[in-house]
Amino acid sequence: MLGGKIMRVNITLECTECKERNYISKKNKRNSPDRVEFKKYCPRERVVTLHRETK
């Protein structure tokens, strides 16, 4: 076991168009302390839209 803080956390990605939470991912808080944004496929909209990290 490593004796430090766990920097990798689970995040939920929410579509900016329909506000549906479609994806769960992991991120390293040290490398990307801000909220992440990805362009991903939204099954409800059936197009690629911007997905942002939620709390």
- What pTM was estimated for this model as a whole? 0.81
Q: How many Å apart are CA 47 and CA 50, to the nearest integer?
A: 10
For residue 32, give the amino acid letter. S
User: Does an H or E element contain 13, and which?
Assistant: strand 8-15
Token pair belonging to 52: 């942002």
What is the reported pLDDT for 2? Answer: 62
Dihedral over alpha carbons 32, 29, 47, 16 (to 10 degrees): -90
Taking the alpha carbons at both ends of the chain, their separation in whole angstroms is: 28
Domain residue extents for the chain: 18-53
Fold for domain 18-53? Rubrerythrin, domain 2 (2.20.28)
Blockwise average pLDDT, block size 10, the chain, 55 residues: 79 96 95 95 97 93
